[in-house]
Amino acid sequence: MGIELKDFRGKITPEADCVLEAESRSTGRERQEIVREILHDWAMQRIHGASVLNRLLHAEGLTGIDGGVAGNRGEPQGSTGRKRA
């Protein structure tokens, strides 16, 4: 069973349109497939970046994007987000 795809419609620049058309013609792949792959790769890079950021924040004793602080997961944090002494 494949992953459920979400519908998206948007406008692109003429340059992007030409690149997509050229890529489609030269590879025989559908434009939708090409754009889906590009967008998925970009999304995965963003997710990885967020994960790295979260680890860096925790390493500095700051509140991470997950709301926790390394070593004190599950404990409520003060407004500064820094570890309590």
Q: Where are the domains of the chain?
A: 14-59
Instruction: Report d(CA 3, CA 77) in Å as an integer.
Output: 37
Q: What is the pLDDT of residues 25-80, one digit of tens each?
A: 999 999 999 999 999 999 999 999 999 999 999 999 999 988 877 665 554 444 44
pTM: 0.71
| Cα(29)–Cα(45) distance, integer angstroms | 23
Residue range 17-22: mean pLDDT, rounded:
98
CA distance 83 to 73: 11
Amino acid at 59: A
